[in-house]
Structure formats: structure tokens, C-alpha cells
Copies of this chain bind each other. A is one copy, B any other.
């Protein structure tokens, strides 16, 4: 039942945004009576919050798995593989991501999305530490920018669909991150 409600809420959130979600519509979409909702959620916001949480959990799980695969396996060009993993996860959850990005702020804070970012930051720190003899520990600003670049640019690429070839996008974003984090770069 909780699942039916959350599924319905997710569908509505996806199709019509936060304002398209009303308790009656959720109930109708879930094939449930309005009253029933309140046996599982104290109010509307709790439904939306739970829906979003579930969305994030799913994306986070996919990302974590992808990261594990990347970091577990050695291999050439790990940055490119991370970029690919993030792009994969974002594309696979295109609509979820859109809803999260567009409707999220209205839910006031949402500690959850910070969790994802924290995990990504930690991961990047660890990775960079391995590559650069611990330098990132002393350069949190660099790590923060790298993570933001990875996340935000990927999200914009997936949501805005610029006329850029996927292959090329991956190559360029990888290069961006690599050149930025490889500290030996010599400006022209």
C-alpha cells in the first residue's frame, strides 16, 4: 500500500511537478481512497518527502555500484570511467533527476541530496589522494569544484540535450576534470 501510494506520487511528480500533486490525485492514481493515505503518512509533505527519498536512494545505489566497479577494477583512464558511470546513472534516471533538480528546493533542504554529494566528494578525495600523493586533503576547494563540475555539467547535458555527441561529451568532461585535478598542468 505504501508502495502504491509512493509509486503514484512519483508518477504525478514526474508528469505534473509538485503542484500537480494533490492528495486526491495521488489517491486516484493509486486506486486508493483519500483517507487511506493518512493511515501511512501524516500529511502531504511526508508523502512527497518519502517519494523523493526513494528516488534518491535508487540513484545513489546505482551510482555506488558503478563507483565500486570503477574503483575495484584497475584499468586505464579511471576518470573517464567515472564520468561514464555518472552519465549512465543520470541518463537512466533522467526523469527522476529532472524532478529532483526542479522540485527539490521546495522541499526545504533535504539532507538526502547532500548525502549523495558527500559520498561523491569523499570518493573523489580518495581517488585524487591516490593519484596525487595526498594533495587533495589540503585542497578541499579543488575537490568541491571537481565534484560540482562532474555533477552539474552531467545533469545539464542530460536534461538540456545540447547538440553534443555522447562520446565527445564524455571525452571533454573527462579532460576537464583530468586537466583540472592533475596539478602538474602547465598553463601555456
A105 contacts B106, C-beta separation under 8 Å: no
| Known pairs A152-B148, A176-B180; A169 contacts B141 (CB<8 A) | yes
The CA-CA distance from A186 to B157 in the complex, in Å, is 23
A76 at the binding interface (Cβ < 8 Å)? no
* A162 and chain B: residue at smallest CB distance: B144
- Nearest neighbor of A142 in chain B, beta-carbon distance: B172
Band of interface residues on A:
35 or more
Contact among B141, B149, B178 with A165 in the assembled complex (CB-CB below 8 Å):
B141
In chain B, what residue has the closest Cβ to A175? B185
A72 within 8 A of B: no
Least distance between A76 CB and chain B CB atoms (Å) = 12
The closest CB in chain B to the CB of A155 belongs to B152
Within the complex, what minimum Cβ distance (angstroms) separates A182 from chain B? Answer: 5
Q: A164 vs B140: C-alpha distance in the bound complex, in angstroms? A: 8
Residue A173 interfacial (CB < 8 Å): yes
In angstroms, how far is the closest chain B Cβ from the Cβ of A7? 23
Identity of the chain B residue whose Cβ is nearest the Cβ of A98 in the assembled complex: B105
A154-177: CB near B (< 8 Å → 1, else 0) gives 001100001111001101110110
